[in-house]
Amino acid sequence: MEDLRYPIGRYAPPSEIARGDRAAWIKDLALAPAALRTAVEGLSEQRLDTPYRPGGWTVRQVVHHLPDSHLNAYARFKLALTEDAPTIKPYDEAAWAELPDSEGPIDPSLDLLDALHRRWVSLLHAMTDEDWGRTFFHPEQGRALRLDWTLGMYAWHGRHHVAHVTALRDREGW
């Protein structure tokens, strides 16, 4: 049986991250807002409130989650670029998905994701090879994470959640 939680599989970075990997991931981040808009285009309110899998978030919550998550990632990049191996603040993404702003219209979150990714991609294009090796410490993971590894993870993250929506649409014939 297909694992509905991971429609594109789990994040599996290459053992060595090259410039080409980073360029592809930056492109993924640049395309993510449009891919999400396309994935939710034409969905009724009822369909937006449909979980993408049994026990999972609704499509609406997924849409609101992406800018929440990617705002945190963007801040982590900026912290790592301006401080020496800072410790970041984790957040409870499930609790964030239950807040009232995750129940409202999706257009503000789609707009926010678009604006955020334009800023983030601009920053990513300006980074040097040395910058990609900078790190931040993630206390829940108990280790330092390199920015190049983190870039790949968030490129995957956007594709992962878009696939939640598109896979649901395919299964339901929407």
Residue 54 falls within a domain, yes or no? yes
The residue behind tokens 């090259």 is: 18
In the predicted structure, residue 140 carries a pLDDT above the cut 80: yes
Quote the distance between the C-alpha of residue 125 and its chain's center. 18
Over the stretch 63-121, which tens digit does the pLDDT of each residue have?
Answer: 999 999 999 999 999 999 999 999 999 999 999 999 999 999 999 999 999 999 999 99
Give how far Cα 60 sits from Cα of 5, 44, 67, 105, Å: 16, 11, 12, 8
Residue 26 falls within a domain, yes or no? no
Residue 158 falls within a domain, yes or no? yes
Residue 12 falls within a domain, yes or no? no
Q: DSSP letters along 104-171, please?
A: S-SHHHHHHHHHHHHHHHHHHHH--HHHHT-EEEETTTTEEEEHHHHHHHHHHHHHHHHHHHHHHHHH
Identify the pLDDT of residue 2: 74
Global pTM exceeds 0.85: yes
Identify the pLDDT of residue 1: 43
Residue 27 falls within a domain, yes or no? no
Residue 14 falls within a domain, yes or no? no
CATH number at residue 158: 1.20.120.450
Q: Is 63 helix (H, G, I), strand (E, B) or coil?
A: helix
Number of domains the chain contains: 1
Mean pLDDT of the chain: 97
Residue 2 falls within a domain, yes or no? no
Say what percent of the chain tops pLDDT 70.
Answer: 99
Over the stretch 21-37, which tens digit does the pLDDT of each residue have?
Answer: 999 999 999 999 999 99
Instruction: Look up the domain containing 103 and give its range.
Output: 32-172
Q: Please give the average per-residue pLDDT across 14-24, as a whole number.
A: 97
Identify the pLDDT of residue 147: 98
In the predicted structure, residue 61 carries a pLDDT above the cut 50: yes
Identify the pLDDT of residue 127: 98
Residue 88 falls within a domain, yes or no? yes
